[in-house]
Structure formats: C-alpha cells, structure tokens
Amino acid sequence: MQSENGNHKKEKILAAVEAAIERYGARREELIPILSDINRVLGYLPPEALDEVSKRLKEPHSQVMSVASFYQMLSTKPRGKHVVQFCESAPCHVVGGREVWEALQEHLQLGAGETSPDGQWTLITVSCLGLCSVGPVIVVDEDVYGNVTPERVPEILARYH
Amino acid sequence: MKYYRSHVLVCVDPECLGRGAHEIEDALQDELVAQGLIDEVQVLETSRIGACSDGPELMVYPEGVHYVGLSVDDIPYLVEEHFLKGRVVQKFLYTKPKFVDEELSAPTPKEVRVVLRNCGKIDPQNIEDYIAEDGYQALAKVLTEMTPEQVIEEIKRAGLRGRGGAGFPTGRKWELTRAAKGEPKYVICNADEGDPGAFMNRRVLEGDPHSVIEGMIIAAYAIGASQGYIYCRAEYPLAVSTLNIAIQQARNFGLLGKNILGTDFSFDLEVRQGAGAFVCGEETALIASIEGRRGEPRPRPPFPAQSGLWGKPTNINNVETYANVPQIILKGAEWFASMGTEKSKGTKTFALAGDLNHTGLIEVPFGITLREIVYDVGGGIRDGKAFKAIQTGGPMGGCLPADYLDLPVDYESLTAAGSIMGSGGMIVMDEDTCMVDIARFFMEFTQDESCGKCTPCRIGTRRILEILTRICEGKGQDGDIETLEYLCEQIRTNSLCGLGQGAPNPVASTLKHFRKEYEAHIYEKRCPAKVCRALIRYEILPEACTGCTVCARNCPVGAISGERRQVHVIDPDVCIRCGICMQVCNFNAVVIE
C-alpha cells in the first residue's frame, strides 16, 4: 500500500513537470514559468520535481534550486489545503491590518509561513496586491477579501472546510 | 406606407424565448387590438437588447424605454399605462446596475487625466474601443510620417521623464539604446509595480492596455527593436490576462507582428510573469528574471541601454512612461510640455492611501503642492483629525511633515526634501501614527525584500530593524540615534542597487523630521502617538468608571480588579496591553496614558 501511494505521488509529480515543460519548452529562460506552473498544480515544489526539471532542462540542480528558493510564490515546503495570504503592506497596515493579522494568527493558531499539523491551512504574508482602496486585504486560495475586520475573520475562514 | 407612433421591439434571442418571449409578443398584439391601438403601435422582433438575464425584455421607441421581467399577465396593464395613458411603468423599467469605482472616481478640478483618460471608460478587452478613442493613430503617424530620429526628438522636446521613479529623460534613454552597438535590440516594459500602496500601473494595464502596447511599439520603432517584453508581477493576474488578450487582438489587427500597418517595420510582444520578488522592479534584476535566473541586480554600468537582456542593448521604461507616448505624438511635444514645472513635464498618477477622506487613484500635473493633493484632491484628513505626515515614493521614500505641505510635487523638490518621487505611492498619516513604528514597518519590508547579494543592504537593513524594534519595545539606549544615522549613510552609499540605496530613506527622513519622537521613545520611554504597546499604559478614570465589571470579565489575563459598583484598577505589571478593556467599556472610562 505504502509503495503504491508513493508511486501514485511520483506519477503525479512527473505529470505536472511534463505538462509544464510541454507548455513552455525545455529552455532555461522558461524556468520561472515552468516552476510556477508546477507549484500551482502541486501546491509546492517537491524535491522530485526539481530533480526532474533539472534533468529535462539540462541545468545543474543548484541552478534550479537557486531560482526555486528565491521567489516568494515558489515554495519548497508543502503547503496546506487552503493558503491564507495576508497583505502586510503599509496601506493595509494603517487601516487596521495589524488587528486582522493578529486575528488570523489567533484563529488559525499559526505564525507567518506555518502550516497546520492537519495540513488544512497555511498562513503566509504577501506583498502589496494593489487593492489598497479596499484594505485590509486577505486572499484565501484564489478568493480576494477586502475591508476585512478582525470580526469577519472567523466567518471568512469558515467558508473553507 | 403606414406610419406608427410607437415601435415595440421584443427580444427573441434563445434566452428570452426560453422565458416566454413569444407569448409576450402574442399577448401584446392581442391587447393592442383590444385597446384599439394596433394601428398606432407596431410590434417587431429583435435580437438581444442587453439584459436577457432579466428577460423577457422589450424596447419601446421612440422613447427608448427598456422593460424587463415581464409576464403575460402584466401586458394589459403595461399597454394601458404606456400606450394609452403615456406613462412609463417604473416597475418593469430596466435600470443599469450602479457600478461604484472605489479606485478611480470622477476627476476633481485639480486633476488632469492623460494616462488614466480611458480607464473605466472603454472596454479594455475590445481593441475597437481603444481605436475609437484615437488609439493607434499615433503609431500610424510615426510609421508613415516620422523617422526614428524625429520620434526621439519629439519625446525629448516633450521633456518626458521615467515614471518608474528615477526620472531619467525618456528621449535620452531611447537615443542611447538606438546608438548602442549590438543586435537585436529589445524593449521592455517594467510592470513589476511592487511598491506597497501603489497600483496606478495595475489600473492602466487592466483598464487601457493598448495605450501601453502602442507606446512600446513606437519605442521599438524609435530604437530599432523587433522584440519586446512586458514583465508583469504575478500578484496582478487580471493585468496579465488583459494584456494577453490585448496583444492577441493587436496581432489580429496587424498592429503587432510582421509588417505593421503594411510598412516594413516588424515587432512583437510577450508577457513575462514574475514570481513574487520586490527587487525585480530594479531593471537589472528584472532582466535576470526574464532570463530565468534569480532576480538579483548587478552593478551598473554597463547600463541596459548598452548591455541588457541577453547582453543586448535594451530599453526599459515603466508602464506609465509608455502610456504617455501616444498622446505626446498625437497632441505634440508643446502640449505635453505646457503641463508641469520647468524640469518635470506632464502629469503623474498617484495612489492616495491612508487616513484621507478620498483615497484611490489620482492624476495631477507636476508642480501641484502636497497641500492641494491632501486637501483638494484627497478631501482632507478623515474624522477631522490633524495631518501628521505624508509618505511618498514607496518603501524607499520618505516621510514629510506638515511644514512641507506647500512643497511642489516634482522630482527635484521631493529629493531635496529628503523623500523621492518614486513610482507614485502616497500614504497620508494622521496624528495617531507613530513615526518610529512606521519607520520600523518600512524597514521590515526592505529587510525582507533585500535579495541578499550585497552586504550593506543585507546586514545593514537587519541591524537597523533590530534597533528600531528595540526602541519600539521600550529598550532604546543612548547612542541608538547616532548608530542609526551612521548605518543609514553606510547603506545608502555602499549598496549595489536602488533598493539598498533607498532602503534607509524612511528612517533617515523620520530622524530628520520627527527626531523628537525617537527621543521620547528612547529617553522618556514614551510613545507620543500612543501606538507602541510596550510604552503605553491603560488606565481607568475613577470619575468615569461605574464599576460595571465588564472590563474585568473581558480581560484575558485577569489584570483588572475591583468590586461591583466600585472603581476598577488595572495592574500594569500583569496587563498585556491588548486594549480589549477599552473596546468593551461603555463609559469611555479606559484611557491610554
């Protein structure tokens, strides 16, 4: 059973790599789009995926890893089923963002960049989304919420179960 | 030929048919006969009118009245009211949903819309809308009537300067790239608008993408490039998809690709997405990212104009810079240069944020004062509070106090005052803002976004952040201010790129203009704005306290004691300064000391 699961996981990873390379071509200049696509499909970049990309692009593993670890949107650590992004930028900060951030941390019992033990939630901060006229802003998975207050936090998160 | 006084157009598209459009039509005919109006009113069939989701719908001419949501039973009443008595039936009238634009409202008298002129007015996904607003006319003029040198000359005469923040003369940059040796040449649009609080470029990309594309094609013609890239941050998914649609439409119209408008000039464009790295807004880091590498800057010179993308001459301008170009070509350099100050021409978009009555995007001519922006355009400070500071230029910018409100907004004046123009974020802060906390906040950002390549930026920003955090926690020491000033100077002069060179600005500018607040934190252990938690104390006013016990019951750490109907007291040693007591007190008896 264990190895069957392992095989299934490996197949899924290889399929994601294959699809991304198919879409952009096995060229170095496409490395960031390729990694972004894989990250989107798998939720993060597992070591097996980075190995495969390195092989297919004929780029040293160190080069692939250097890019994967540089950009905020690429994660080399597994992420939760739902990713909560909090905009930590100044315009949100001055209109009550700090209180929202505390409410998020308390409600999820997570700090910045942490994933809950049950794999449900990951809490991360994100740089300005340019939605400053409706701050404070949080993004859950792909849904954007504006004018968030600490009181609204539990209600918003309850939609993702 | 028969004449009718009125025509009724019934929508018979599949959606309305499904909701009984034919039955409505028959009922109308019958009722018009019954009420003796059939010789005066004609019923016709038409295709979609526009509100089919509320169908069945019909349109009455010549009045142009649009009715929706009708059923057969409503028809006798409708015919009697509208066609016999001549009264519009409000109940079925179609009213367009009211759309409130929270980002971009109608311009105030001090504003001039050049870059934002089409935003919110045209359909960004339809190239014909842009063409109807004189779109691509500048391109046609350039390709058929002007040499590349004439284009560059026109941009130089207009005095257009880079809107990304540094303000380098655009025409000069184009000239340098044109003169540089090496083929092919590239044009890049820097759409990596990462400054927190700045979203002017996002709005242009989402609302008027063709103005940027047209500007880029003109730039490509001027410098002799055949390939261009728009590097857009991944935090703007809608901008990316809108751009891709616009590029495809421009290709279909022969405005991109081979032999543009039938001339022998060819040029094509591609959108490249970032993956979340603020430093990629720096041009050499941006180029590294397009090449598929870590977005780390490299020393300049050589500048991208000499050696840019893949080592080839490359022209990089910001979104707003390109969006200005078609207007300059169409209306002329004199028109553009008539706006602004001696050295800063034209208009500038800003994103107003913070404690203002009206936040959102604005576009104003250079030379306008900060006071006009805060009070005339921004509507003044919210809740009648006092103005404390305005932060311009994003995280590498500075905070200016009330003494600077009459400063004209242009590149040189802002720099001389200790801030910068930057790409256009403006955050206005009221009296309740702690400037040390704000400086710490910006340092947190730059420290986090420092790419780590050069030491002054990587370690220096961290040292500054540590000191500021200590000061905010009430552990400031004598000598901290001097150490901060030393660090600011070292980081500014020794860092590799604009991020590091500008990183100390929020600290340096607040040290210059709000030094007393630092001193209050360090020497008096006091936060004048009552923001820094370690330096404030919650107290209960004995004369206001009714002894209702609400605060004591809500205190999470049991720091409040007192008998029912007796004055309560907060134990400062136990209190964690969460502020819950202040929120729950119904008598405003809890205050910050």
Q: Is B286 on the interface with A (CB under 8 A)?
A: no
pLDDT band at B244 (very low <50, low <70, confident <90, very high): very high
- Over residues B189-227, the pLDDT tens digits come to 999 998 888 899 999 999 999 999 999 999 999 999 999
Residue A39 belongs to a domain: yes
Residue A41 belongs to a domain: yes
Rg of chain B over CA atoms, in angstroms? 31
Q: Could you tell me if A111 and A145 lie in one domain? A: yes
Q: How close B235 gets to chain A, by Cα (Å)?
A: 6
- Over residues B90-102, the pLDDT tens digits come to 989 887 665 567 7
**Which residues in chain B touch residue A95, judged by CB atoms under 8 angstroms apart?**
354
Q: Total domain count for chain A?
A: 2
Q: Could you tell me if A61 and A99 lie in one domain? A: no
Q: Could you tell me if A59 and A111 lie in one domain? A: no
Inter-chain contact B442–A32, Cβ cutoff 8 Å?
no
Q: Check residue A1 and give its pLDDT.
A: 47
Residue A21 belongs to a domain: yes
**Which residues in chain A touch residue B359, judged by CB atoms under 8 angstroms apart?**
132-133
ipTM: 0.89
* Secondary structure class of B231 (helix, strand, coil): strand
Of A72, A94, A133, the CB nearest to B102: A133
Integer CA distances (angstroms), A94 to A85, A106, B196, B434, B441, in order: 18, 20, 12, 11, 10
Mean pLDDT, range B488-512, rounded to an integer: 95
**Which residues in chain A touch residue B290, judged by CB atoms under 8 angstroms apart?**
29
Give me the total of CB pairs closer than 8 Å, taking one residue from chain A and one from chain B: 110
**Which residues in chain A touch residue B445, judged by CB atoms under 8 angstroms apart?**
88-90, 127
Residue A44 belongs to a domain: yes
**Distance of alpha carbon B299 from its chain centroid, rounded?**
30
Q: Could you tell me if A103 and A149 lie in one domain? A: yes
Integer CA distances (angstroms), B318 to B212, B229, B490, in order: 9, 12, 29
* Secondary structure class of B539 (helix, strand, coil): strand
Q: How far apart are CA A48 and CA A54, in angstroms?
A: 10
Residue B454: pLDDT over 60:
yes
Mean pLDDT of chain B: 93
- At which of A48, A70, A92 does a domain end? A70
Of the candidates A128, A138, A76, A137, the residue with the CA atom closest to the CA atom of residue B233: A128
Element (DSSP H or E) covering residue B462: helix B455-472
Residue B134: pLDDT over 50:
yes
- Over residues B391-436, the pLDDT tens digits come to 999 889 999 999 999 999 999 999 999 999 988 989 899 999 999 9
Q: Could you tell me if A115 and A64 lie in one domain? A: no
Q: What percent of chain B has pLDDT over 90?
A: 79
- The encoded tokens of residue B136 equal 């691509």
Q: Could you tell me if A94 and A129 lie in one domain? A: yes
- Over residues B49-81, the pLDDT tens digits come to 766 667 788 889 888 888 988 899 999 999 999
Residue A51 belongs to a domain: yes
**Which residues in chain B touch residue A73, judged by CB atoms under 8 angstroms apart?**
234, 275-276
CATH classification of the domain holding A94: 3.40.30.10
Q: How far apart are CA B318 and CA B163, in angstroms?
A: 6
Q: Could you tell me if A62 and A97 lie in one domain? A: no
Q: What is the pLDDT along chain A (161 residues), one digit of tens a residue?
A: 456 677 888 999 999 999 999 999 999 999 999 999 999 999 999 999 999 999 999 999 999 999 999 998 999 999 999 999 999 887 787 788 888 999 999 999 999 999 999 999 999 998 888 888 788 999 998 889 999 999 999 999 999 97
* Secondary structure class of B268 (helix, strand, coil): strand
Q: How close B451 gets to chain A, by Cα (Å)?
A: 8
Q: Could you tell me if A108 and A145 lie in one domain? A: yes
- Over residues B345-400, the pLDDT tens digits come to 999 999 998 889 988 899 999 999 999 999 999 999 999 999 999 999 988 999 99
Q: Check residue B96 and give its pLDDT.
A: 67
pLDDT band at B177 (very low <50, low <70, confident <90, very high): very high
Residue A77 belongs to a domain: no
CA quadruple A42, A47, A49, A53: dihedral, nearest 10 = 140
Q: How close B190 gets to chain A, by Cα (Å)?
A: 16
Q: How far apart are CA B533 and CA B536, in angstroms?
A: 5
Q: Check residue B121 and give its pLDDT.
A: 82
Residue A63's closest chain B neighbor by CA? B293
**Which residues in chain B touch residue A129, judged by CB atoms under 8 angstroms apart?**
235
Q: Check residue B47 and give its pLDDT.
A: 76
**Which residues in chain A touch residue B232, judged by CB atoms under 8 angstroms apart?**
none
Residue A76 belongs to a domain: no
Q: Is B441 on the interface with A (CB under 8 A)?
A: yes
3-state SS record for B113-162: CCCCCCCCCCCCCCHHHHHHCCCCHHHHHHHHHCCHHHHHHHHHHHCCEC
**Helix A47-57 vs helix A61-68: crossing angle, to nearest 10:** 130
Residues 6+ apart with CB under 8 A from A103: A150, A153
Contact call for residues B560 and B538 (beta carbons, < 8 A): no
Residue A12 belongs to a domain: yes
Q: Is B438 on the interface with A (CB under 8 A)?
A: yes
- At which of A13, A45, A70 does a domain end? A70
Residue B1: pLDDT over 70:
no
Q: Could you tell me if A39 and A91 lie in one domain? A: no
Mean pLDDT, range B458-472, rounded to an integer: 97
pTM above 0.80, yes or no: yes
- At which of A70, A96, A118 does a domain end? A70
Residues 6+ apart with CB under 8 A from B350: B200, B361, B362, B363, B364, B373, B424, B425, B426
**Distance of alpha carbon A73 from its chain centroid, rounded?**
6
Q: Could you give phi then psi for residue A144, rounded to 5 degrees?
A: -100, 135
Mean pLDDT, range B174-196, rounded to an integer: 95
Q: How far apart are CA B281 and CA B195, in angstroms?
A: 9
Inter-chain contact A67–B195, Cβ cutoff 8 Å?
no
3-state SS record for B80-91: HHHHHCCCCCHH
pLDDT band at B19 (very low <50, low <70, confident <90, very high): confident
Q: Check residue B55 and give its pLDDT.
A: 74
Q: Check residue B146 and give its pLDDT.
A: 97
Q: Check residue A128 and give its pLDDT.
A: 85
Q: Could you tell me if A90 and A153 lie in one domain? A: yes
Look up the domain containing A51 and give its range.
Answer: 2-70
- Over residues A114-125, the pLDDT tens digits come to 999 999 999 999
Q: Could you tell me if A36 and A66 lie in one domain? A: yes
Inter-chain contact B292–A95, Cβ cutoff 8 Å?
no
* Secondary structure class of B279 (helix, strand, coil): helix
Q: Could you tell me if A95 and A131 lie in one domain? A: yes
Q: Is B289 on the interface with A (CB under 8 A)?
A: yes
